[in-house]
Amino acid sequence: MADSVRLDPVDLEILRLLQNDARTTYRDLAAAVGVAPSTCLDRVTRLRRSGVILGHELRLDPAKLGRGLQALLSVQVRPHRRELVGPFVERIRSLPEALSLFHLTGPEDYLVHVAVPDAAALQRLVLDEFTARREVARVETRLVFQRWACGPLLPPADAVG
């Protein structure tokens, strides 16, 4: 498990603001937290180098890209050995339909969030890319009716303190 990083109130405020709008300029960010722009830049750089800030994401709407059906695939891999797990993970990560992949404890080893055009494409994906693999012992498919983003990780300013 990664060690936590010591953050002061200014760092936390920078993170709170950036998580809600990662395109905020350093000048605006510095003004909002009460530091000089150069200080703000130094702090953000330190937060990136320490691994607190992992990057910036562009979110796309799968439905608008012709992939309106989403599903969660619970996958059991047997035997669950390192020499099988690595190639399995890399293969699933390379699938254009795969949105997220989670390694789990419990009866299922993986949870894969996928987006496909329709039920026929989902069936093809499950049969050709999952159950056709020797190490895949079982796949359970659950359709996603609706998804909500949660968060943010840090509370709004008025909820702090």
What does the domain layout of the chain look like in residue ranges? 9-57, 62-144
Structure tokens at 158: 């008025």
CATH topology of domain 62-144: Alpha-Beta Plaits (3.30.70)
Residue 15 clears pLDDT 60, i.e. is over it: yes
With a cut of 80, say whether residue 2 has pLDDT above it: no
Considering the domain 9-57, what is its CATH architecture?
A: Orthogonal Bundle (1.10)
Identify the pLDDT of residue 1: 45
- CA distance to 36, 46, 109, per residue, from 27 (Å): 8, 17, 46
* Omega before residue 156 within 30° of 0, cis: no
Cβ atoms within 10 Å of 135's Cβ, excluding its own? 17
pLDDT, tens digit, for every residue of 93-146?
999 999 999 999 999 999 999 999 999 999 999 999 999 999 999 999 999 999
Residue-wise pLDDT tens digits, 44-77: 999 999 999 998 888 899 999 999 999 999 999 9
The Cα 159–Cα 152 span in angstroms is 12
- Whole-angstrom CA distances from 74 to 21, 114, 134, 142, 148 are 33, 11, 16, 8, 20
Q: Are strands 136-144 and 69-77 parallel, antiparallel or unpaired?
A: antiparallel
What is the model's pTM? 0.81
Say how far apart CA 60 and CA 68 lie, in whole Å: 12
pLDDT above 90 for 5: no
Tokens, residue 150: 């949660």
Taking the C-alpha atoms of residue 35 and residue 29, their distance in angstroms, rounded to an integer, is 9
